[in-house]
Structure 1
Amino acid sequence: MQDLLALDGVDLASVAAREGTPLHLYSATAIRQRIDGLQSALQGVDATICYAVKANGNHAILQLMAKSGVGADIVSAGELRRALRAGIAPSKIVFSGVGKREDEIAQALEAGIARFNVESRAELDLLQRLAHARGVVAHAAVRINPDVDAGTHAKISTGKSENKFGVAVAEARQWFTAQAQWPAVRLDGLHMHIGSQILELEPIRRALQRLARFWRELALAGHAIASIDVGGGLGVRYRQGERAIDAADYVAAIRDALAGFDGRIVLEPGRYLVAEAGLLLARVLHAKQGSERTFLVVDAAMNDLLRPSLYDAWHDIVRVGDDNGRTTTTYDVVGPVCETGDTFAVARGLPRCEAGDLLAILATGAYGASMASTYNSRPLAAEVLVEHGRYAVVRRRQTLDEMLAGEQAATHWETA
């Protein structure tokens, strides 16, 4: 791996010295390149890209999406607020998720979002009641569960019959047959999403084929389908040797499966657009020689990047700077949190490191800061957007006072 000195023209050692560590950095140029590549592949297709906000909901990232013509795939009222605040038009927002609360659906109806991806009969009934009460008609898509194994980690697989997401085709068929029961809901869309970090096209092709068969069946039965949401899930390169699905190949699979469909196609990429654009800078605190292993203790922790602890996920880690003359040493790279699971890498070969050295944990632009917490009373790290040799702090480092601001002594008691 080549020496790492800069990201998007910004010197990493300099920005770390000025802004401190741990520090999340995102390359605006890299994100735009991913967006442009997907939009170019979609030329000639009536399609809307709705970025999965859960991947990284930072305001600056969402503004970048809005300026690039990208919409939002949301799963909460908080993400709705973020998307609208960043300038994403309601007409480009779809609402997914198995547990939409009544107040969240109400807020989305008030905002006039494009579509609800409905995942249960209970949700469909609730959407009908709330839309009727407001005198509006909600556009909805049925999220079907195609029972396809995405070939990814079990905790991010969402398209198998045993998963909590979506409904079986048989149940969806019943909804379309009985849709007169929900006059305030226009049931004219289909949706699927089989999982995340998918690196092979074959599971996507199988799921698309099952989705397409159901669309054609509905069309023959007289049910007009205006929108087909193919979900997201495109994987990214987390380690050397991995290869992401090419955008052109992905879109070709969609074109092939949905040939003849004259409605709107919706795509929900998240990780694919932002993961490889980001990295997490961490400062080495010290090396610790154990009886069996050598630990490299850094100032970043599982509260800053949960993926390795939660999914046993691999992230390439590099020492920032010139590695000439440094021998390779095998380390377990760990953080200071009081959990054995606070481990970024096990038996990882790195140039010999010492206190004060800077490490970059790569491909953290998705599900890094967005999954962060204040566990062990560690304030949230700062986030920085870099572009062509300049940078802007897009989330300042949380202070201890800010972290504690919502807490108070039990001085006012009430009975319920």
Structure 2
Amino acid sequence: MLDALFRQALQEALGRYPTPFYAYDWGRVAAQVARLREAFPFARLFYALKANPRLGLLRRLRALGLGAEAVSLGEVLRAYRAGFPPEGVVWNSPVKTEAALAAVRERAPVVVLDSEGDLKRVARHLPGARVLLRVNPDLPVRTHGHLATGRGESQFGVLPEAVPRLVRLAREEGLRFLGLHLHLGSALEGVEDFLQGYRVLEALYPQVGPVRVLDLGGGFGLRLDLKALAGPMEALARLYGAEVWLEPGRYLVAEAGVLVVRVVGVKATRRRYLLLDGGMTSLLRPALYGARHPVLPLYPQEGREAGVFDLAGPACEAGDVLARDVPLPVPEEGEALAFLEAGAYGASMAFTYLDTPRPLELLWTGEGWEVLREREPLEGLWEGE
């Protein structure tokens, strides 16, 4: 649940800012960084921008000594804008166009090679670049299908049998081969999923030999037993004589963030609904992944009749429901709810369907509110048309 001071600060924010808005507790983010460093003191952390890319957040994470992991050219340039140096940025995408590679020629990040074609394209446009080779471990990881990047059917990385040949090719092409990259998927709660991936890398060692870096990705579920991973992770690093890099995103920011919305109305069809001023355009994860976000009333609850509601947004889609069958004290119009665990892949996946502006984003520093991103102006929705 929320820290008491942060919850109190949300009440203040409700009096100052229009809903819907995202609010993040910086103290919770910093605590999660400390938790990972305690579990994996031998590892270097690279924050996955895709979870939440706001510049104000990135600058604070950089000040804590983290690097950055980027997927698109835009994220690479955003990381540079936040002050990360090229050697502190890992660029990891299955598609890197010639134009994108040309854009970073003068300041190339560490590049993750995703295929033979990708390798040759990088060698052509970024000669001598620092590179990692992404291994697809071909494993049935247990998570939503959209997030299972380590399955052999996915479009990511190279299968284990191709790894030795592509390691040799990277070196022959004049690239600075640093090591191997492994990312199994997102929101993984099972230790065994990770251990299976580590065993794939262990089996590759006789053919690959020592490397400088093992980038073991992210995907840490919020309730994952980190301590159970530390020993096997460190043993794998010793086998390769490598430094461990990790790419946490959701684990650092999800629990630190909430989406705050107001109740616009209560209605009944064959089901009972609360109608909200924010919906799927602000928080897509329930519609896309079937994700369930805990819901916290931000209004007095004593003496209220209880009800069970579906929580629906303003879009013209039957799928614009952020949660179903939620037991709540019956709210009055204008009262607010907070969707918890929304700090990752919430605002970063917000979109402008139906000309809906993307919401305001706020950071609670412990001393006051900092605006990370203003609410998108309506006029900005049709600029450039």
Structure 1 residue 341 displacement after superposition: 1.0
Cα deviation code 1:114-141 (max 9, x no counterpart)? x211111111110111124xxxx11111
2:189 to 191, 196, 199: 199
- Contact map agreement 2:304 2:330 (CA 8 A) in 1: yes
Work out the CA distance in 2 between the residues paired with 1:34 and 1:384.
19
User: Structure 2 vs 1, CA of residues 89 and 5 (structure 1 numbering), >3 Å: closer, same or farther?
Assistant: closer
> Could you tell me how far apart the structure 2 residues matched to 1:245 and 1:125 are?
37
State the distance in 2 between where 1:15 and 1:304 align: 18
Output aligned runs, 1:79-118, within 5 Å: 79-113=75-109, 115-118=110-113
1:278 Cα offset (Å) = 0.1
Q: 1:191-229 CA deviation, whole Å, 9 max, x = no partner?
A: 11110000111100110111122134311xxxx411111
SS in 1 for 2:266: strand
Where does the alignment leave 5 or more consecutive residues of structure 1 unmatched?
237-243, 408-416
DSSP 3-state at the match of 1:398:
coil
Partners of 1:226 and 1:263 within 8 A in 2 = yes
Distance in 1 separating the partners of 2:6 and 2:60: 16
Given residue 283 of structure 1, which amino acid in structure 2 is its aligned partner? R
Q: C-alpha displacement at 1:337, in angstroms?
A: 0.6
Compared CA separation, residues 110 and 228, structure 1 to 2 (3 A): same
Aligned partners of 1:7 and 1:21: how far apart in 2?
Answer: 20
In the TM superposition, residue 31 of structure 1 has moved relative to its aligned partner by 0.3
Give the secondary-structure state (helix, strand or coil) at the position aligned to 1:51: strand
Matched, 1:155 2:146: yes
Q: What is aligned with 1:350?
A: 328
Q: Report which stretch shifted further, 252-261 or 93-102.
A: 252-261
How far apart are the structure 2 equivalents of 1:232 and 1:5? 25
In the other structure, the counterpart of 2:309 is 331
Alignment match of 2:297 (pick from 292, 305, 319): 319
What is the letter of the counterpart of residue 27 of structure 1?
D
Task: Assess if the C-alpha contact under 8 Å between 1:75 and 1:100 holds in 2.
Answer: no
What corresponds to 2:238 in structure 1? 259
Is 2:249 the partner of 1:270? yes
Residues 299-352 of structure 1: CA deviation (Å, up to 9, x unaligned): 001110000011111001111133111232110100001111111011111111
Task: Look up the equivalent residue of 1:182 and give its one-letter code.
Answer: E
Counterpart of 1:411 in structure 2 is none
Find the aligned partners of 1:178 and 1:90 in 2 and give their Cα distance. Answer: 24
Aligned to 1:53: 49
Secondary structure of the corresponding residue to residue 111 of structure 1? coil
Q: Deviation at 1:65? A: 1.0
TM-score calculated relative to the size of structure 2: 0.96
Residue identity in the other structure for 2:38: S
Residue matched to 1:124: 119
Q: Distance between the aligned counterparts of 2:240 and 2:64, measured in 1? A: 26
Q: CA offsets, 1:252-291, max 9 Å, x none?
A: 331133333322211011100100000000000001111x
1:375 and 2:365 are equivalent in the alignment? no
Q: Is the 8 Å Cα contact of residues 211 and 241 (structure 2) preserved in structure 1? A: no
The question of 1:16 aligning with 2:2 is answered no
- Where 1:254 maps in the other structure, the secondary structure is helix
Where do residues 140-179 of structure 1 align in structure 2 (5 Å cutoff)?
140-179=131-170
Deviations 1:179-200 (A, max 9, x none): 45412x1233101111000011
Aligned AA for 2:50?
K
Gaps of 5+ in 2: none
Q: Give the deviation of 1:92 after TM superposition.
A: 1.2
Task: Indicate if the aligned counterparts of 2:202 and 2:236 stay in contact, CA closer than 8 A.
Answer: yes
Query: Given the superposition, is the C-alpha separation of residues 172 and 261 from structure 1 closer, same or farther in structure 2, using an over 3 Å criterion?
Result: closer
Equivalent residues of 1:205, 1:257 under 8 A apart? no
Structure 1 stretch displaced more, 194-203 or 261-270: 261-270
Asked whether the 8 Å contact 1:16–1:23 carries over to 2, the reply is: no
In 2, the alpha carbon distance for the partners of 1:145 and 1:225 equals 18
Give 2:344's match in structure 1, choosing from 362, 366, 376.
Answer: 366
In 2, the alpha carbon distance for the partners of 1:205 and 1:108 equals 35
CA distance in 1, matches of 2:277, 2:177: 50
Is 1:279 matched up with 2:258?
yes
Q: TM-score, normalised by structure 1?
A: 0.89
Q: 1:240 aligns to what? A: none
Q: What is the distance in 1 between the residues matched to 2:306 and 2:282?
A: 26
**Structure 1 Cα separation of the partners of residues 135 and 143 of structure 2:** 19
TM-fit CA distance, 1:177? 3.6
* Aligned residue pair count: 385
Please state whether the residue corresponding to 2:227 is helix, strand or coil.
Answer: helix
Distance 2:44 2:103 in 1: 22
Change (3 A) 1:10 1:405: farther
1:10 and 1:388 in contact (8 A); partners too:
no
Alpha-carbon displacement from aligned partner over 1:122-178 (angstroms, at most 9, x marks no partner): 11110111124xxxx111111111112220001111001111111111112221344
Q: Does 1:391 align with 2:381?
A: no
- Report if the CA contact (8 A) 1:54-1:270 is conserved: yes
Aligned to 1:413: none
The one of 211, 219, 226 equivalent to 1:225 is 211
